[in-house]
Amino acid sequence: MKQPLLIGGATTSRMHTAVKIAPQYMNIQHPVVHVLDASRSVVVVSNLLEDDEEKREDYVEDVIDLYEEMREEYYAGLEERNLLPYTDAVEKRLRINWKESPPACAPISGRFGAQSIIDFPLDEVVSYIDWSPFFQTWELRGRYPNRGFPKIFNDERVGDEARKLYADAEKMLKLIVDGKLLSLRAAHGIWPANSANNEDILVFADEDRSEPIAKFACLRQQLEKESDDPYMSLADFVAPVETQLKDYIGMFAVGVFGCDKLVEKYEAENDDYSKIMAQALADRLAEAFAEVLHRDMRTKDWGYAKDEHLDSGDLLKIKYQGIRPAPGYPSQPDHTEKRELWKLLAPALNNGVGIELSESLAMMPASAVSALCFSHPEAKYFAVGAISKDQVESYATRKGETLEETERWLAPILDYDP
Angle at 187 between CA 183 and CA 193, to 5 degrees: 160
What percent of the chain clears pLDDT 70, i.e. is strictly above it? 98
pLDDT digits (tens, 9 = 90+) for 333-388: 999 999 999 999 999 999 999 999 999 999 999 999 999 999 999 999 999 999 99
Cα radius of gyration (the chain): 23
Coil, strand or helix: which one is 222?
A: coil
Instruction: Give 79-113 pLDDT, tens digit per residue.
Output: 567 899 999 999 999 999 999 999 999 999 899 99
- The CA distances from residue 100 to 96, 97, 337, 377, in Å, are 9, 6, 31, 12
Best CA proximity match to 371, nearest among 221, 254, 256: 254
pLDDT tens-digit readout, 162-213? 999 999 999 999 999 999 999 999 999 999 999 999 999 999 999 999 999 9
Exposed/middle/buried for residue 417 (C-beta within 10 Å: 0-12, 13-18, 19+): exposed
The secondary element (H helix, E strand) that includes residue 117 is strand 113-120
For residue 150, whether the previous peptide bond is cis, meaning omega lies within 30 degrees of 0, is yes
CA dihedral 112, 117, 120, 126 (to 10 degrees): 50
The band of 124, judged by pLDDT with boundaries at 50, 70 and 90, is very high
CA pair distance 217, 42, nearest whole angstrom: 51
Let me know if domain 81-128+180-418 sits in CATH 3.40.50.1820. no
Q: Which residues pair with 189 in a beta bridge?
A: 114, 251
Which whole number is the average pLDDT over 303-308? Answer: 94
pTM for the full predicted model: 0.81
Q: What are phi and psi of 93, to 5 degrees?
A: -70, 170
What mean pLDDT do residues 129-151 have?
86
Lowest mean pLDDT across 54-63, 250-259, 338-347: 54-63
Instruction: Please give the C-alpha separations between residue 20 and each of 4, 67, 74, 341, in angstroms, as whole numbers.
Output: 16, 10, 11, 37
Give how far the C-alpha of residue 401 lies from the chain's centroid of Cα atoms, to the nearest Å.
27
Distance, CA of 41 to CA of 18 (rounded, Å): 17
pLDDT at 80: 63
Q: How far apart are CA 94 and CA 231, in angstroms?
A: 7
Cα dist. 161→2, 67, 114, 174 in Å? 41, 26, 44, 20
The dihedral over CA atoms of 119, 120, 122, 124, expressed in degrees to the nearest 10, equals 160
Distance CA 397, CA 394 (A): 5
DSSP 180: T
Task: Report pLDDT digits (tens) over 261-303.
Answer: 999 999 999 999 999 999 999 999 999 999 999 999 999 999 9
Residue 172 and residue 320: Cα distance in Å, rounded? 31
Give the CA distances from residue 81 to residues 68, 70, 84, 385, in Å, rounded to whole numbers and listed in that order. 19, 17, 10, 10
User: What are the residue ranges spanned by the domains of the chain?
Assistant: 5-76, 81-128+180-418
Burial grade of 245 (CB within 10 A; 0-12, 13-18, 19 or more): middle
Domain 5-76: state its class. alpha beta
Contact criterion met (CB below 8 Å) for 325 and 314: no
Report whether 288 contacts 256 (CB < 8 A).
no
Q: How many CB atoms lie within 10 A of CB 226?
A: 9
